[in-house]
Structures are given as structure tokens and as C-alpha cells.
Amino acid sequence: MYCYLGIDVGSVSTNLVLTGEDGTVKHSIYLRTRGKPIEVVQQGLKQLQEALPGKIKVAGVGTTGSGRHLAGVITGADIIKNEITTHAIAASNVVPGVQTILEIGGQDSKIIILRNGVVADFAMNTVCAAGTGSFLDQQASRLNIKIEEFGPLALQSTVPVRIAGRCAVFAESDMIHKQQMGYNVSDILAGLCEALVRNYLNNIGKGKEILGPVVFQGGVAANAGMKAAFEKALGMPVHVPPYYNVMGALGAAMLAREATNRKSTGFKGFGVADRDFKAGGFACDGCPNVCEVVEILESGRVIARWGDRCGRWSNLIPGEKIS
């Protein structure tokens, strides 16, 4: 059976998705990146290989996420695409006709506007981190509740407390204040969800026309409280796709299928998991920019470099051009 592999290496999580020729998900793996992207990709490949029946042949690999170049170099990806494109591709395959994608992950939030199946506009958070998954995680643990309970608890609320959601710092101090005033936890949680949704729509969705169908994806989409808050704010239903968590990897797999159409794959095989890769680096002293140059070594041999502003190092390796 021919399959396509998509790998999404983010700063918080790394996902691998294997799809069949028809684009259906055969297997998906979710791992914590923990600052060790190379190890995690290798670990993911190993797990995938163990979980699969022997007759599988990977016919294409795509990578995405902030670690896409790294993952691409290691696995020999056929296509390296950024998150916006892969998320859009995946969502429009799962929910045909989707016009708006709300995406909230651990570190990033973004909105993608599609019209007639084409990305027409997008926006990402720049500096402010309010509304991201890690913030919700923190608040849940501060309130002593499991993140899985967060959503169901928020849904029990009848009168959400109004929480100042201008930024994470405000939201946190206002929440503490409301707690001390004796509001119950579910109303506070529901209020927090509404504050984050307000913040998201004001900062990221600002000026964009949000039309349905709306898809909500990324790790935070698991939180039923956030979904309900979006539905309330937008006044329309919001879909959370079954693989909401791995949409980037899914999109990468779909693009890999497109990219390898009538071409053979560059996939280096599952054996990659056992090879010796290292990410090294140095500060160049060629000029006052002092670029941090990243080097990827395979068994001590440099296979890729990036990070230099001037191309002095990245152009050195013939045939291994990045992006």
C-alpha cells in the first residue's frame, strides 16, 4: 500500500501523520518537541514504523512547522511548506467549502481566510501571546484543574464572568481578582474563554470578514469551552475536525502527494531513525552581524546550513538548497 507522510515540527509539539492514497488518515502520532526536534522526529518515525503493517511504502514526504527545514533535511522531504498553506489545504479537504480557519496552537494563533478554495488572506499573532494554548494550560494548572476538565467545566457555566482579556498579563490578574471575589470556577473559566476569543478576534481577526463554514483547529480546539465561546461571539456554528490537532502534518502529507505526482520520492526511509544526526552551530565572525549559523550533520558530515544573512555558509553546500 502506498502512503504519504506529513511531519509538523512546532516549538511545542511534533506531529506525524500517515495518509493513504485517498487522503484518509491511517495513523497519527503526537509528541512533545521539548527543544529536541531531531530526536523527536526520529522517535516519531520509529513509532510509526512499529505501528504499521509491513507492506507499507512511503511514496512522498512533506514537512511543515517552524522546524520544517530541519525535518525536511533529515527525512529527505519532497516538499517543505509553511504552516499557513498546510493548514489551509488540510481544512479544505476535511470541510469542503471552508471559508475561515481559526487556528490556535501552543505558541501561535492565526486566522486564514479562504475564498473559492484559495487562501485569500491570513494573519498571525506577532508579539502578544494572549490566546495561545500555553496560557490556557498555565491557568488551568493555577486553578488546580486538569486541562481535559477545562472545557466541560466551562460549559457548565450559566453566567460567565467578564474578564479583561487585553493581554495574558491582564487576564491573569483579573482572573485572580475575580476568584478572590468568590465567583465559581466554571463561570471564571467560561469568562476566560470569552476573553481569549475577544482578544483573538480583535487582534488577529481584525478587519477580516469571517464567513462560514468556520473551522477551528490547533491544540486549543480540544477545549469545548473555547469552541462554545467562538460560536457565541460569531453567531454561527464552528466545526472542529476530527484531526484538529495534526492538521499541519495532514496538509503536509496531502501536499507531498501532489508534489510526487509521477515523480519518485526523496524519502530516505525509516532507517533515518537510527542514523546519527546532530545540529551544531557557530557564530560567524565574518562581519559584525555575527550570525548564528546552524549546521545539520549526518555522521559528522555537514548536510545543511542556514541562519546566515549573507549566504556565505548556506550557499556552500551544493544541491542542498533550503526552501
Partner 1 sequence: MKIVYPHMGYMWICIKAMLEYLDVEVVVPPPSSKKTLLLGVKHAPEFACMPLKLNLGNFMEAAELGADTMVMAGGCGPCRFGYYAHVEHAILRDLGYQYQLVVLEPPQKHIGELLGKIKHITGHQSWRKVINGIRFGYHKAEAVDELEKTANYCRPREIKPGTTDRALQAALKEVIAADTPEKLPAARKRAFEIMRSVPVDRLRPVLRIGLVGEIYTLLEPFTNQDIERKLGGMGVEVDRSIYLSEWINEHLFLGLVKNKRSSKTAREKAVKYLGHFVGGHGLETVGNTVLYAEQGYDGVIQMLPFTCMPEIVAQSILPRVSTETGIPTMTLIVDEQSGEAGLVTRLEAFVDLLARKKQTGEVLA
Positions that interact with partner 1 (CB under 8 A): 66, 81-85, 115-122, 124, 126-127, 207, 287-290, 309, 311, 315, 321, 323
Which residues in 228-239 are b (16+ Cβ under 10 Å) and which e?
bbbeebbeeebb
Note whether 313 binds ligand SF4 by CB under 6 A. Answer: yes
Quick one: what does residue 118 bind among ligand SF4, partner 1, none, with the CB cut-off 5 to 8 Å set by partner type?
Answer: partner 1
Quick one: what does residue 169 bind among partner 1, ligand SF4, none, with the CB cut-off 5 to 8 Å set by partner type?
Answer: none
CA distance 309 to 208: 34
User: Residue 205 to residues 34, 99, 198: CA-CA distances in angstroms?
Assistant: 30, 13, 10
Q: At closest approach, how far in Å is the CB of 77 from partner 1?
A: 15
117 Rama sector, left if φ>0, alpha if ψ -120 to 50, beta otherwise: left
Record the cell numbers describing residue 171, joined without a space. Answer: 487576564
Q: At closest approach, how far in Å is the CB of 128 from partner 1?
A: 12
CA distance 299 to 301: 6
Q: At closest approach, how far in Å is the CB of 289 from partner 1?
A: 5
Note whether 284 binds ligand SF4 by CB under 6 A. Answer: yes
CA distance 12 to 134: 9
Q: What is the DSSP letter of 305?
A: E
Identify the three-state secondary structure at position 267: coil
Q: At closest approach, how far in Å is the CB of 312 from ligand SF4?
A: 4
Q: What is the 3-state secondary structure (H, E, C) of 119-165?
A: EEEEEECCCCCCCCHHHHHHHHHHCCCCHHHHHHHHHCCCCCCCCCC
Q: Please, which of residues 60-119 interact with ligand SF4 by CB under 6 A?
A: none
Nearer to ligand SF4, 209 or 292 (CB): 292
Nearer to ligand SF4, 173 or 315 (CB): 315
Q: At closest approach, how far in Å is the CB of 288 from ligand SF4?
A: 7
Quick one: what does residue 1 bind among ligand SF4, partner 1, none, with the CB cut-off 5 to 8 Å set by partner type?
Answer: none
Candidate residues 142, 310, 316, 323; the one interacting with ligand SF4 per rule CB under 6 A: 310
Q: What are phi and psi of 215, to 5 degrees?
A: -110, 135
**Interacting residue ranges for ligand SF4, rule: CB under 6 A:** 284, 286-287, 289-291, 308-310, 312-313
